[in-house]
Amino acid sequence: MKEKNHKYIRMLIIILNLISCMALIGSGYLMRHKIARKVNEITERPIIELNMSMEEKMKDFEYLYNCIATSLPLDTLSGIEKQYGIDFVERHDLYKEMITDTETDLDFYAAMNAIMEDVPTFHTDVPYPDYDYYGTFGCWNIEEVLSTRGIKNKSVYWNTLMRDSCTELYELSIISNKFHYQSYTGEYCAENGDILLEIDGIAVDDYIDRTMAQPIKYDYINQKAFRRWLTFCAEPYSDAMAVPVTIKFRDEKGTIHESQVYVDVVASVLDGYSRALGVKKKEQKPVSVADDMFYSYYDSENEILYLNIGQIDKWTMQSVADTLKDIKCTDIILDIRNNFGGNFDYVAMYLYPYLYGDDLEINHTWYLPNTKYAKKIVSNWKASRQLALKKSDYVAENGLGQSQDYLVSEEITRLTGGMNVPEDMNVYVLISGETGSAADRLALVLKDCKNATLIGTNTAGEGRMSSFLMDYLPSSGLVFIYMPELAYNIDGTNNAVVGTAPHIYVKEREPEEMENGTDNMDMYTYENRLLWDDVLRRAVQEIQGGRLP
pTM: 0.88
Picking from 250, 338, 233, the residue whose alpha carbon sits closest to that of residue 295 is 338
Distance separating alpha carbons of residues 85 and 42, to the nearest angstrom: 48
Task: Output the pLDDT for position 513.
Answer: 45
Span 472-506, pLDDT tens digits: 999 999 999 999 999 999 999 999 999 999 999 99
- What's the distance, CA 376 to chain centroid? 20
Mean pLDDT of 394-422: 79
Picking from 82, 70, 65, the residue whose alpha carbon sits closest to that of residue 497 is 82
Task: Say what percent of the chain tops pLDDT 90.
Answer: 62
**What number of CA atoms fall less than 13 Å from residue 207's CA on the CB side?**
18
Span 305-318, pLDDT tens digits: 999 999 999 999 99
Distance separating alpha carbons of residues 249 and 233, to the nearest angstrom: 15
CB 73 within 8 A of CB 486: yes
* CATH architecture of structural domain 289-359+416-463+509-543: Alpha-Beta Complex (3.90)
Task: Output the pLDDT for position 520.
Answer: 66
Distance separating alpha carbons of residues 306 and 304, to the nearest angstrom: 6
pLDDT at 245 over 50: yes
Span 277-330, pLDDT tens digits: 665 544 445 567 878 899 999 999 999 999 999 999 999 999 999 999 998 899
Span 141-196, pLDDT tens digits: 888 888 888 899 999 999 999 999 999 998 888 999 999 999 889 999 998 999 99
What are the boundaries of each domain within the chain? 169-283, 289-359+416-463+509-543
Task: Output the pLDDT for position 269.
Answer: 93
Mean pLDDT of 348-355: 95
Distance separating alpha carbons of residues 138 and 136, to the nearest angstrom: 6
- Residue 167: other Cβ atoms inside 10 A: 15
* CATH architecture of structural domain 169-283: Roll (2.30)
Task: Output the pLDDT for position 276.
Answer: 66
Distance separating alpha carbons of residues 265 and 525, to the nearest angstrom: 36
CB 394 within 8 A of CB 408: yes
CB 463 within 8 A of CB 436: yes
- What's the distance, CA 495 to chain centroid? 14
